[in-house]
Amino acid sequence: MPPVSRSAATQLRAVPKRILPRTHLATPRQAPTILRPAHVVLPSRCHSTSNPNPSFSSVNPEEVSHFAELASEWWDPHGSSRLLHLMNPLRHDFINACLDSQLEPRNETLSYLDIGCGGGIFAESAARLRSTRSVLAIDPTPSVLAVAKAHARKDPGLSRKLEYRNSSIEQLEVPKKEGEGYDIVSVFEVIEHIDQPGAFLEKVQPFVKPGGWLVMSTIARTWMSWLTTNLIAEDILKIVPKGTHDWNKYLDEDELRRFFMDKGWNSPRVMGVVYVPGLGWKQVRGSEKVGNYFFAVRRDFP
């Protein structure tokens, strides 16, 4: 069986029909344009009415509706967000590994921008760290954000560091001065739900301060990832709600690497992870080529 082809970050990708599985379940379709620069992206299927730039919106109403239905279960560690709860410690491990890789000492306190924060699993845990100065967590789904705010109110101490805002990235004011921005900009389990990931990432980049890190997690677009995340997780085991993932929106690690290298961003770091039933998420070297992985790049100092 030939491997799924990988193209440069600015080219169209298509999956040969002969490798698609013969099954009545949802299967990979023709892949859309991925990681094209903003000036050549195709018009989005939806536009935010409050977006000053009508050519792009990162908000897809279908995705918003899907996650709104899951809002009430967000903080149930045994519910539909169970895998996110189990993955959260690895998010912090990966960020610490990025910070430890710096030649210069890390800042004593860190500011975070958590994009697509959902119910606040990562945002809350980041706000509780002694090294955290502030966390701004944004999400375009009002019902999900309401759950996040309600849960945070259970710990009054969080209000000193944690702020939730119903917003998409294009609605935030871009830092105007050199040196402004955030030490850590996190985009966890988000980009595979974005119709135009290249345009989205171009909106995100200015929020990373010089010397800061853009950290994300997503899924490689391979036959194995379709088998594990779509067929097994959603259709067979039902440990992930049906319709959560669209295989065509997955991004390979080398696509992200090329995208950022073309823009002059250095120090890409990658960590592949695998979910092991009964044991949770485990770091597995090389697994970033076939399934879930973390990816980070650092913005250079001027």
189 is in an annotated binding site: yes
Q: Do the annotations mark residue 280 as ligand-binding?
A: no
Is 173 labelled as part of a ligand binding site? no
Is 245 annotated as ligand-binding? no
253 is in an annotated binding site: no
Q: Is 122 annotated as a binding residue?
A: no
What DSSP assignment string belongs to the chain? Answer: -PPPP---TTS-----GGGS--SSS---------S--GGGPPPPS---TT-S-TT-----HHHHHHHHHTGGGTT-TTSTTHHHHHHHHHHHHHHHHHHHT-SSPPPSSEEEEEET-TTSHHHHHHHTSTTEEEEEEEES-HHHHHHHHHHHTTSGGGGGTEEEEE--GGGSPPP-STT-SEEEEEEET-GGG-S-HHHHHHHHGGGEEEEEEEEEEEE--SHHHIIIIIIIIIIIS--S-TTS--GGG---HHHHHHHHHHTT-EEEEEEEEEEETTTEEEE-TTGGGTSEEEEEEEPPP-
b/e map 17-50, b = 16+ CB within 10 Å: eeeeeeeeebebeebbbbbbeeeebeebeeebee
Is 63 labeled as ligand-binding?
Answer: no
Q: Which residues have CB under 8 Å from 192's CB, separation 6+? A: 218, 219, 245, 246, 249, 250, 251
**Known binding site: residues?**
91, 116, 139, 188-189, 192-193
**Known binding site for S-adenosyl-L-methionine: residues?**
91, 116, 139, 188
**Known binding site for Mg(2+): residues?**
189, 192-193
